[in-house]
Amino acid sequence: MADYQAPLRDMRFLLNEVFDAPTLWQSLPALAEVVDAETAEAILEEAGKITANSIAPLNRSGDEEGCHWQAGEVTTPAGYKEAYRLYAEGGWVGVGGDPAFGGMGMPKVISAQVEEMMNSASLAFGLYPMLTSGACLSIHAHASEPLKQKYLPNMYAGVWSGSMCLTEPHAGTDLGIIRTRAEPQADGTYKVSGTKIFITGGEHDLTENIIHLVLAKLPDAPAGSRGISLFLVPKVLVEDDGALGERNALSCGSIEHKMGIQASATCVMNFDGATGWMVGEPNKGLAAMFTMMNYERLGVGIQGLSTGERSYQSAIEYARERIQSRAPTGPVAQDKVADPIIVHPDVRRMLLTMKALNEGGRAFSSYVALQLDIAKFSDDAEARQRAEAQVALLTPVAKAFLTDMGLESTVHGQQVFGGHGFIREWGQEQLVRDCRITQIYEGTNGIQALDLVGRKVVGSGGTLYQAFADEIRAFIADAGSELAEFVDPLQAALDNLDELTAWVIDRARANPNEIGAASVEYLHVFGYTAYAYMWARMATAAFGKQAQDDFYQSKLGTARFYFARVLPRVQSLSASVRAGSESLYLLDAARF
């Protein structure tokens, strides 16, 4: 596998030339004194170094060795503890954390790019700090001040880590039927009992303490999801002076043997009357958990992008060096017995598809991150409300579409290698295996599609969608005629999405099955159209600069490929949506 190199040039292009993030930062008082273009540049440069030099070399060895479980203790692969300590000492776990508790205070659009680099280097490694950051978000937003003071500094510092304990053996998507219970105690604590499964980083040897956020129900809780509360349950109890005390009544029963992410400990966690503290209000645990969900679901989408980027970097290096057959138009490498495979049309199709999806995904994830920053930091109530609406609409698209396209890119990269892509030596098969989980956890992509269509589009009567569509129309109206080759197909794609949205809303009134029948294909039509918007914006930023730098020529060439060869996928997907739900119900269960 090629050595990983962070795509810093493309990240700078997005921040400074496409989205003009430094101007936004200066307009937000909470960020103006924290970050500017130079600070962002320095942070990304350093993140690129540590991920490429210290984490990426562990990716294959970590996969080969995996985690080890023995008598409730989990050991991570060789080199992980040292790399994690180095990562934590650099402040990277708390890159987006509140400075009042020791975090860097960086906006999400910066931490999102750090996440991409970390997960491209090693998705399994990146899950440990990601889960800690997610736990910190919920604690910061909903916990009492004493809990924040007690736990956040060490979590941001990477001395302690975090986990999110949601799923149970019988309760995955339907969290309303969880059985974990929390019994109130006279001293204000709770005794938490139950079993959680699929808990990423539930037990490991990287940190001296693990702070679990656990969903559980109080004895008098209402039925269903309205009766879920959230509790902070540390692995090791913390004394009033901050020192570690005795081990809490919880344990890791086993770790899962998985298809991928072997170096990430996926645990069965048993809570046996463990001491915990409530985070937020009683029976409002899902709301507290969803504070971090928008961030974490974007983060999982970025994981898909990350594996696609790593796959592309290896595939393009291989395609330039591997010689097989001659170009259709005649020999290119006259001094060799065959030409590099990059001369062949089908190899170019795969490479350009990967490049277009990766760069479009990076732009889209950065765009969504900017909306999160506006929603969090803006003093303008109207701007916050508009950004919150955008985040609500786009989060399921970011999670599902980025990961679906990430898997496609890893498979393309594997295919470029041919038979060598199927064996471990080159690392491509690991990327396919690792990427696959991103379509499943943090809410399966089918659930994301139902959320988009059922709650965000149909549920809002199309108002959330309309605001996003209006923004794209305003961009199109402002574009000059010289950009017609990018703007005209964007306009056509948006018109198609407008019509499809109206069709789904109308059909859902008469038949609720239409929502689920349309959801996955609709989300993909939405995703390709959103990427078209990103590509039109990138083409606008690059247009006229072709003579300055090959980077801009490459950007425009890839934009043209996207509009010519990728965006037309919306036509067949739209036809599938309009076919309706009838054909899904022609067979009863016994006839499948």
Largest CA distance in the chain: 84
Per-residue pLDDT band for 290 (boundaries 50, 70, 90) equals confident
Place of tokens 């910190």: 136
With pLDDT > 90 as the criterion, what percentage of the chain qualifies? 96
Backbone angles phi, psi at 441, to 5 degrees: -85, 170
Q: What is the pLDDT of residues 52-109, one digit of tens each?
A: 999 999 999 999 999 999 999 999 999 999 999 999 999 999 999 999 999 999 999 9
Tell me the average pLDDT across 146-158: 98
pLDDT greater than 90 at residue 175 = no
Cα–Cα distance measured from residue 405 to residue 403, given in angstroms and rounded to the nearest whole number: 5
> Residue type for 323, please?
I
Tell me the average pLDDT across 467-492: 97
Place of tokens 């998507």: 173
pLDDT greater than 80 at residue 310 = yes
Nearest residue to 189 (alpha-carbon basis) of 125, 144, 128: 144
- The pair of three-digit structure tokens given for residue 318, joined into one six-digit string: 């291989």
Q: What is the pLDDT of residues 323-340, one digit of tens each?
A: 999 999 999 999 999 999
Q: What angle separates helix 381-416 from helix 513-542, to the nearest 10 degrees?
A: 90
Contact assessment for residue 160 and residue 211, using Cβ atoms and an 8 Å cutoff: yes
Helices H / strands E in the chain, number of each: 19, 11
Query: Per the residue annotation, which of 442, 482, 485, 582 is the catalytic one?
Result: 442
Q: Determine how many CB atoms are found less than 10 A away from the CB of residue 223.
A: 9
pLDDT greater than 90 at residue 174 = no
Q: What is the pLDDT of residues 424-459, one digit of tens each?
A: 999 999 999 999 999 999 999 999 999 999 999 999
> Residue 249: CB partners within 8 Å, gap ≥ 6?
271, 272, 273, 274, 275
Name the pTM for this structure: 0.97
Contact assessment for residue 183 and residue 152, using Cβ atoms and an 8 Å cutoff: no
Cα–Cα distance measured from residue 249 to residue 237, given in angstroms and rounded to the nearest whole number: 10
3-state secondary structure of 274: strand
User: So what's the pLDDT on residue 367?
Assistant: 98
Q: Determine how many CB atoms are found less than 10 A away from the CB of residue 273.
A: 14
Place of tokens 């500017």: 36
User: So what's the pLDDT on residue 2?
Assistant: 81
Strands 190-200 and 266-279 turn out to be: antiparallel
pLDDT greater than 80 at residue 1 = no
What does the domain layout of the chain look like in residue ranges?
Answer: 444-582
Contact assessment for residue 162 and residue 211, using Cβ atoms and an 8 Å cutoff: yes
The dihedral through the CA atoms of 391, 396, 398, 399 has a sign that is: positive
Plot region of 106 (φ>0 → left; ψ -120 to 50 → alpha; else → beta):
beta
What does the mean pLDDT of the chain come to? 97
Contact assessment for residue 507 and residue 582, using Cβ atoms and an 8 Å cutoff: no
Per-residue pLDDT band for 232 (boundaries 50, 70, 90) equals very high
Nearest residue to 286 (alpha-carbon basis) of 209, 227, 350: 227
Place of tokens 């006259």: 334
Q: What is the pLDDT of residues 377-386, one digit of tens each?
A: 999 999 999 9
Cα–Cα distance measured from residue 128 to residue 92, given in angstroms and rounded to the nearest whole number: 12
pLDDT greater than 80 at residue 500 = yes
Nearest residue to 479 (alpha-carbon basis) of 488, 466, 470: 488
- Per the annotation, the verdict on 442 as an active-site residue is yes
Three-state secondary structure readout of 121-150: HCHHHHHHHHHHHHHHHHHHHHCCHHHHHH
Per-residue pLDDT band for 287 (boundaries 50, 70, 90) equals confident
First to last CA, the chain: 42
Cα–Cα distance measured from residue 249 to residue 230, given in angstroms and rounded to the nearest whole number: 17
Tell me the average pLDDT across 151-176: 94
